[in-house]
Structure 1
Amino acid sequence: MEIGFFIKLNRIKQNITQGELAEGIVSESYLSKIENQKTEASKELLELLCARLGVIMHYDDDFKTREKCKKWFSLLCEGNDTEEITLLYQELQAIMDNHFSDIHTLFELHKIRYFTLIDEGDLALEQLKKLKEVVTTFDVEKQYYWYKFKGNFHVKITENFIQALEYFKIAHSKVNQFLIQEQDIADLKYYMSLTYGKLRFSNDSIDYAKEALEIFQQHYNYNRCAKTHILIGIAYRRIKKNDKAIENYDLALRLAQAHGYLSLIQLTNLNLGHLYETKGNNEKSFYFYNEVVKDPNSRFQARLKAIISLTRLYYLDNKTTAAINLVTQGKDLLAKENSQQLLYIEKSLAFYDALLQSDNDSFAKIANDELLPLLKKQQDYANIVNYATMAGNHFESMKKYKLAAQYYKLVNNAYAQLIKI
C-alpha cells in the first residue's frame, strides 16, 4: 500500500510543509520516512496525519474502482472519445479525493496523460511538478508511466521532440522489467515513431511504427492501424519512396472510410495533398486539400492546415485573389478558437496576409520576429526552408537583394540541419 504517497501528495496539494503536518503528531524526520515509504507507520498515526490534512483514510480495494481505473487508463491510451474520458475522470477523482487505494499513484500519473490529451498544458505541467516530489518512491511500473507521459507532454504541449524522445527511450528501457499490456507497448512505440518522424529520423520512425502496427493488427485496433499507416506513409515520403507512401496512405484511407473515422480520412487527405505537392502534381494536390476544406465534417485544425497548404499553392501559382480569400477564411475560423496548438497556423496566416497585401514592414516583422523564430524553436527546418524561400524570393523580386540574401542564408542553414538529421 502506498499511503505515504497519498499523504505526501495531499500535503503538497495544500501547500503544507512537513513541519506543519508533523507538529504535535510525529517528528519531521519520521514523517519524511513515511512519505517516502521507508517505514510502515501505525494505522492510528496515519489517521492523525490524514485528519490534519482534512482527508479520510479508507483502505479501499474496491474491485469496481480498480476496474473503472483500468478502463479509464485504456481510454486514455486510445484518446478518442474525450467526453467519455472526462466523465469517467470526474467520477474517479471524486472517489480518489477521499479514498486511498493501491491504484492511487497510477491514477495520479495518468492525470498527466489526461491533461495533455485535452490540451490543458498548464494543468499537465502542474501535475508533473506535484509528482516530481514523489518520483523517488516510484517502482519500475510507475517510472515507466512517469517517463512515457512526460514524453507525451513534450510531444503535444511543448513540441520539444528531442526531449520527448529521451523520455520515451527511458520508458522503453523499462518495458521488460514488469508486466505490461501489449497495447500499452504499442502505444509507446507509436509515439516513438511519431517523435522520430518529427525529428526526420525516417528509418527509425518506420521501424517503430511497424512494430506498433503488428500489435494493433493482432488486437483488431483498426483506428490505431490507420494512424500508424499514416506515420509510415509520412516517413516513406520523406525518404522519397513515394509508391510505399501512397500504399500506406491508401490503406489508412480504406480503414478510415470502412469504420467511419472522419478525422483520419481528413488527415490522410492532407498527407496525400502534401505528397503530390512535393511531386509537383498540383492538380492532385489541390484535389486532396480541397477534400478537407470543403468537407462540412472536417475538424477545425485539419481544415486550417489544408487552408494554409492551399494558400501556399495559390500564391506560388500567382492566383492572388484565391489566396487572399483563403487567408480571410482561415482567419475567420481561427477567431472561433483559442489554442496554443494553433500558434503556427496563426503566424502562417499572418505571414501570407502581409505577403499578399504587399505590406512589407508587417511582412518582415512577422517573418523575422514571429514565424521563423517559432519554427526554429520547434526545429521545423522543412518549413523554415519553405517560408524563408518565399520571403527571399519576395524581396528579390522587389530588388531588395541584401534583405533577400538574409533569408536565403536561413534556407541554407535549415538545409544543413536537415542533412544532419
Structure 2
Amino acid sequence: MEIGSRIRFYRIQQNMTQEELSRGIISTSYLSKIENNQTTASIEVLDFLCSRLTINLIEEEEIPLMKSLFDWYHDIVHRRQDTLKKRYEELREKIHSTSDTTAMLYFVLFEFRYLLTERDFTEAEAKLEKISLYKDIFEEKMTYYYEKFVGLHHYLQSKYSSALMHLKGAERFLTKHLPFEKWEEADLYYSIALTLSQLRKAALVIQYTHFALNIYQSRYDLMRCAECQILLGINYLRCEEYSRSEESYQLARKIAEQLNDKSLLGMICHNMGYLSSITKKYEQAIIHYNEALKYKNKHEALSTIFSILYAYYQLDKKEEAEKWILEGQTILKQNPNQEYDYHFKVYDSLLKGNLSAEFEFFMLEVVIPYFIEHEKQQYIIEYSELMASYFEERHKYKSAAHYYQIVCHALKRAYSN
C-alpha cells in the first residue's frame, strides 16, 4: 500500500485529526496531498509523520496472515459456525501486532461481515461507521467486499432497494476480471437473487439464481444447490409456472432428505404449502404447513403459523383460525416480531368482525405504512385492497380509490421486471 494511504489509515485509526498529525512538521494542506498520494514527500518528513503515528516507515507484508484472513472469510461464507469465533479471537490478536496495513483493512472488512453473521447489528453499525472513513484508500478488491457487505447489511435491515444498489455495485467488480474464486461469484449472485426476490423481480431472480446454481452444481455444493432450487420454486410460482415451481421444490426436497437437514425440510414444506395455497388447495396447504412445523423450531414457526391461520380463514373455519392466532401470539411473547404481531392483530380483528374506527386507524397509520417502509409488496397489496373494500362498503369512494391506487402502484412495482 502507498505510504500516503498508510499514513491516512493509521491517523484515522488513532482518531487523530490532520491538524494534530501535521503540527510542527508540515502544513495541513501538504499532509492532505501526501495522504491522497498526490505528492512525494521527503524521507525526513515521512519519518517524522510515521514516528508520531508510532509506525514503521517500511511496511512488512505478512503473507501467512493474509492467507489466514481469507481462510476465515471462506468459513464465514460457508457457515462453519463451530470455528468462526475462535478464529476471530486469534486473528484479532495477530492484527494488533502487525504492521501490514493491507491485512488490517481486510480484517476490519471481514470482521464487519462476521458481526452480520452473528447478528450483532449494534457493533456492526459502529464498525461500518469506522470502515466508511477508510473507503478512499481501498484497493478495488476491498471496495468489492465493502459494497457486498453493506448490501448484506441493508438486506438484513429490510432495506431491499438500497441492498440491491450496493450488491450491484459489487457485481461491477466481477466484470473487471479481478481474481475472485468461483464460490465468491456464486455467493454474490445468490445474494443479488435473494434481494431481487424480496423486491419481487421474478424474472431477474430466476436469471441470477441460475448463475449461482451453475457454479454450485459444478462444485457439488448440495446445500447451496437446494437453496437455489427453493428460490427458483418461489419465483416460478410468482410467474404462475406452477409445475416448474413444484419441480424445483421436489429437487430441493431430495437434497434436503439426503443431507438430513431439518431446517431445509421445514423451509421446503412451507413453500410447498404456499404453492397449494396460491392454487386455492387450502386443505392440502395445511397438510404441508403442519409437516413444516415438525421440522421448525418455535422461533422459526411464525410464518408457517400465520400461513395456517390464513388457510383456515379462507376456508371460513373461524375457530381453527383463532386457535392459530393464539399459538402465534404465545410464540411472540418469547420471540417478538413486529411484522407477525401486526399480521395476527389484523386477522384477530377480521375474525371477530371488530372493524371499528380503532381498526381503521391501526391499518392506515400503522400496518400499511410499516409494509410500505419495508417494501413488502405482497402485504401492501393485500392490506390496501382490504381497506379499499372496507371504504367502499361504507360509501367512502374517495378513500377507496386512494387505496386501490396504492394497490396498483404496488402491483406495478411487484411485477415490473
Comparing 168-177 and 275-284, the one that deviates more: 168-177
Output the TM-score relative to the length of structure 1: 0.86
By how many angstroms is 1:95 displaced?
2.5
Change in CA separation of 1:19 and 1:226 when aligned onto 2, cut-off 3 Å: same
Q: Give the alignment partner of residue 326 of structure 1, picking from 313, 324, 330.
A: 324
Tell whether 2:385 aligns with 1:389.
yes
Comparing 63-72 and 24-33, the one that deviates more: 24-33
Tell whether 2:355 aligns with 1:352.
no
Change in CA separation of 1:167 and 1:409 when aligned onto 2, cut-off 3 Å: closer
Alpha-carbon distance in 2 for matches of 1:41, 1:306: 67
By how many angstroms is 1:264 displaced?
1.6
* Map of 1:74 onto structure 2: 74
Structure 1 residues 55-100: Cα deviation after superposition (integer angstroms, max 9, x where no partner):
899966555533331122112223x344532332233223323423
Alpha-carbon distance in 1 for matches of 2:6, 2:335: 38
Change in CA separation of 1:10 and 1:310 when aligned onto 2, cut-off 3 Å: farther
SS class of match (1:276): helix
Is the 2:266–2:293 Cα contact (8 Å) retained in structure 1?
Answer: no
By how many angstroms is 1:280 displaced?
0.9
Alpha-carbon distance in 2 for matches of 1:312, 1:165: 30
* Map of 2:364 onto structure 1: 368
Instruction: Provide the aligned C-alpha RMSD in A.
Output: 3.0
Alpha-carbon distance in 2 for matches of 1:412, 1:61: 58
By how many angstroms is 1:209 displaced?
0.8
Is the 1:144–1:174 Cα contact (8 Å) retained in structure 2?
Answer: yes
By how many angstroms is 1:112 displaced?
3.0
Tell whether 2:247 aligns with 1:251.
no
By how many angstroms is 1:394 displaced?
6.0
Alignment of 1:182-221 (within 5 A): 182-221=182-221
Is the 1:347–1:366 Cα contact (8 Å) retained in structure 2?
Answer: no
Q: Quick one: which amino acid aligns to residue 50 of structure 1? A: L
By how many angstroms is 1:126 displaced?
3.0
Alignment of 1:94-243 (within 5 A): 94-101=93-100, 102-157=102-157, 159-177=158-176, 178-243=178-243
Is the 1:216–1:222 Cα contact (8 Å) retained in structure 2?
Answer: yes
Output the TM-score relative to the length of structure 2: 0.86
Looking at both structures, which has the greater relative contact order when contacts are Cα pairs under 8 Å and sequence separation is at least 6? 2
Share of identical aligned residues, percent? 27
Structure 1 residues 197-250: Cα deviation after superposition (integer angstroms, max 9, x where no partner):
222222221111111111111112111111111111111111111111111111
Alpha-carbon distance in 1 for matches of 2:23, 2:58: 23
Structure 1 residues 157-193: Cα deviation after superposition (integer angstroms, max 9, x where no partner):
2x22222222222221211431111100011111121
Tell whether 2:53 aligns with 1:50.
yes
Change in CA separation of 1:33 and 1:275 when aligned onto 2, cut-off 3 Å: same
* Map of 2:274 onto structure 1: 274
By how many angstroms is 1:20 displaced?
2.4
Structure 1 residues 363-400: Cα deviation after superposition (integer angstroms, max 9, x where no partner):
2233212221121123322222223334455677xx53
Alpha-carbon distance in 1 for matches of 2:319, 2:41: 73
| Count, aligned residues | 409
Question: Unmatched 5+ residue regions in structure 2?
Answer: none
Q: Quick one: which amino acid aligns to residue 350 of structure 1? A: K
By how many angstroms is 1:26 displaced?
5.4
Alpha-carbon distance in 2 for matches of 1:294, 1:394: 37
Is the 1:58–1:99 Cα contact (8 Å) retained in structure 2?
Answer: no
Change in CA separation of 1:9 and 1:243 when aligned onto 2, cut-off 3 Å: same
* Map of 1:336 onto structure 2: 334
SS class of match (2:334): coil
Alpha-carbon distance in 2 for matches of 1:285, 1:74: 38
Is the 2:11–2:17 Cα contact (8 Å) retained in structure 1?
Answer: yes
Q: Give the alignment partner of residue 396 of structure 2, picking from 393, 398, 402.
A: 402
Change in CA separation of 1:315 and 1:15 when aligned onto 2, cut-off 3 Å: farther
Q: Quick one: which amino acid aligns to residue 160 of structure 1? A: K
Alpha-carbon distance in 2 for matches of 1:201, 1:41: 56
* Map of 1:316 onto structure 2: 314
SS class of match (1:318): coil
Q: Quick one: which amino acid aligns to residue 127 of structure 2? A: Q
Comparing 93-102 and 27-36, the one that deviates more: 27-36
SS class of match (1:246): helix
Alpha-carbon distance in 1 for matches of 2:34, 2:373: 42
Q: Quick one: which amino acid aligns to residue 260 of structure 1? A: N
Change in CA separation of 1:130 and 1:37 when aligned onto 2, cut-off 3 Å: farther
Is the 1:266–1:298 Cα contact (8 Å) retained in structure 2?
Answer: no
SS class of match (1:103): helix
